Amino acid sequence: MCLGIPGEIVEIPPGQTDLARVDVSGVRRAVNIGLLDGQPLRPGDWVLIHVGFALSKIDEAEARAALEFLEGIGQAYEDELAALRDSSIER
C-alpha cells in the first residue's frame, strides 16, 4: 500500500527550485516540490508526500492529525517509513 505522508521542509537547496530536503518522522530525504510550483515554500512548511513528490502544502495541524492517523494503522505506516529510511539522504 502506498500512502501520502506528511513531511516538514527542512531545506530548499539554493539553485534547486524543484527539490527540498524533508523530514518525515525523523527520516530525511530529497522530495520533488515541482508540482507545487508557484506556491511559496520555505523551511518549516509541511507538505503531503507520495512516491517522492510533494502533492500539496498542508498546515501543521493537518500534518499532525495525519501522522496520528498513520501511526494508528500500524504495519502499512511502518512499511512506508522503512522504504523512506532505505532511500534516506542522511544516514
Are 2 and 51 contacting, i.e. CB atoms less than 8 angstroms apart?
A: yes
pLDDT at position 88 over 60: no
For 62-83, how does the pLDDT look when each residue is reduced to its tens digit (9 = 90+)? Answer: 999 988 888 787 777 777 777 7
The three cell numbers locating residue 79: 512499511
**Please, what are the domains in the chain?**
3-85 (2.30.30.140)
Q: What is the pLDDT of residue 57?
A: 95
Return the sign of the alpha-carbon dihedral for residues 13, 26, 4, 48. negative
For 5-52, how does the pLDDT look when each residue is reduced to its tens digit (9 = 90+)? Answer: 899 999 999 988 899 999 988 888 899 999 998 889 999 999 999 888
pLDDT at position 91 over 80: no
* Nearest Cα to Cα of residue 67 among 24, 32, 22, 18: 24
